[in-house]
């Protein structure tokens, strides 16, 4: 089946012989039937027909009056003022297939959207293109958020480790005379550094150095008794 697009119904051959495939009357009819389409869209559609080889090369694709009065200032398919024109769909707008082709050609989702919004092509992003754009943008935003979360986690971790390192390496305050409480580490103490103090009777920590009721701190027993040389039955006296 021969290629057709939105301009096809306006060939001059549809109403009689003519020197060119399209003339100024072609635009008049096109504009009447498609009032929301631009001259650029009409021009690109005619150029697409020419590129697809469906026009007779022995006849010009556009008449002189059509070119000078209508199309002269309209950016065509190869114009840098209409960079998405080459992806225009058969219906004259920018649909899902146009979106895919532009992406394969190196366009980003956001660049496509921004160019369509500029209005130079006259095209609109149709439902299929908008759906794909929204998916691409959502994925890009999710990836950006994940990267931000990862960077923040690493920064917070490094900050916490640095704070802990600084607390641990602060000098220990010297104890006073008769000091019996656990030593304080830095300004925030042992709680700030999350250090555990062993309970009494254990073999680590500082509490085991405190005097208390532990019998291991009783001094040697000295018996004082009579002069008979025999062991006295008197009670032991702790000195």
Interval 198-234: pLDDT, tens: 444 444 444 443 444 444 444 444 444 444 444 444 4
Residue 9 domain-assigned (yes or no): yes
Q: Cα(186)–Cα(172) distance, rounded to whole angstroms?
A: 6
Number of folded domains that form the chain: 1
More confident residue, 208 or 105: 105
Percent of the chain past pLDDT 90, that is, above it, reads 49
Q: What is the pLDDT of residues 165-190, one digit of tens each?
A: 788 888 877 766 555 555 444 444 44
Q: What percentage of the chain exceeds 70 in pLDDT?
A: 71
Q: Tokens 């006259």, residue?
A: 122
Consecutive H or E run containing 237:
strand 237-238
Give residue 32's pLDDT band: very low, low, confident or very high (50, 70, 90). very high
- Tell me what the pLDDT averaged over the chain comes to: 78
Interval 44-85: pLDDT, tens: 999 999 999 988 878 888 899 999 999 999 999 999 999 999
Residue 226 lies in a domain: no
On whether the CB atoms of residues 137 and 110 are closer than 8 A, the answer is yes
The two three-digit tokens of residue 44, written as one number: 């690109």
Q: What is the pTM of this model?
A: 0.62
Q: Is residue 39 part of a domain?
A: yes
**DSSP readout, 42-68?**
HHHHHHHHHHTT-S-TTSBSS-HHHII
Q: In terms of DSSP H, where are the helices of the chain?
A: 24-33, 39-51, 64-66, 96-104, 109-118, 127-168, 189-192
DSSP string, 145-164: HHHHHHHHHHHHHHHHHHHH
Rg of the chain over Cα atoms, rounded to whole angstroms, equals 46
Residue 22 included in any domain: yes
- Domain range for 25 is 1-74
Residue 201, domain member (yes or no): no
């Amino acid at each position: 089946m021969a290629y057709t697009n939105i301009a096809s119904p306006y060939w001059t051959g549809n109403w009689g012989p003519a020197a060119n495939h399209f003339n100024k009357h072609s635009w008049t009819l096109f504009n009447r039937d498609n009032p929301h389409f631009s001259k650029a869209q009409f021009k690109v559609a005619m150029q697409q027909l020419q590129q697809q080889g469906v026009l007779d090369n022995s006849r010009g694709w556009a008449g002189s009056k059509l070119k000078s009065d209508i199309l002269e200032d309209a950016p065509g398919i190869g114009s840098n003022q209409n960079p998405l024109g080459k992806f225009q769909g058969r219906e004259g707008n920018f649909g899902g297939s146009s979106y895919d082709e532009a992406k394969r050609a190196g366009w980003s989702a956001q660049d496509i959207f921004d160019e369509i919004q500029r209005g130079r092509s006259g095209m609109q992003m149709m439902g299929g293109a908008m759906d794909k754009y929204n998916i691409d943008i959502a994925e890009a935003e999710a990836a950006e958020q994940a990267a931000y979360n990862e960077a923040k986690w690493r920064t917070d971790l490094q900050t916490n480790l640095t704070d802990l390192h600084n607390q641990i390496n602060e000098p220990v305050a010297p104890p006073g005379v008769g000091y019996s409480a656990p030593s304080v580490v830095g300004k925030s103490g042992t709680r700030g550094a999350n250090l555990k103090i062993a309970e009494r009777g254990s073999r680590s920590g500082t509490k085991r150095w405190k005097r208390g009721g532990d019998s291991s701190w009783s001094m040697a027993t000295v018996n004082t008794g009579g002069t008979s040389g025999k062991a006295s039955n008197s009670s032991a006296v702790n000195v």
